[in-house]
Amino acid sequence: MDYLTRVRNLRNDSGYSQEYVGNVLHVSQRTYADYELGNIKFPLDAMIRLAKLYNVDMNYICGITEVRCEYPCNNACRVSK
């Protein structure tokens, strides 16, 4: 799963609107929508805020692993190859 789909699924599963998540990231709803669509790349600080918001590890958000560990990841998390 690519990270854009993962981010969108996390938002939908949490019941958050794009406007709400945009406010958390200190951007407009339109800018956040552009992040999700891949029109603008997520800045690193935004990805960190998303990890904290959804309480998941950055590796999960980025699609590096399918294991949904809490933020921050502990040693029990394994990165898939």
In a domain, 32, yes or no: yes
Print burial letters for 56-71: b (CB count within 10 Å at least 16), e (below 16).
bbbbbbeeebeeebeb
Mind listing the pLDDT tens digit for each residue in 19-41?
A: 999 999 999 999 999 999 999 99
Here the tokens at position 61 are: 């958000």
Indicate which CATH number applies to the domain containing 22: 1.10.260.40
In which domain, by residue range, is 40 found? Answer: 3-61
The tokens 């399918």 sit on which residue? 66
In a domain, 73, yes or no: no
Query: How many domains, the chain?
Result: 1
The beta-strand segments (E) located in 1-81 are none
pLDDT of residue 67: 79
Residues of the chain with pLDDT under 50: 79-81
pLDDT of residue 71: 67
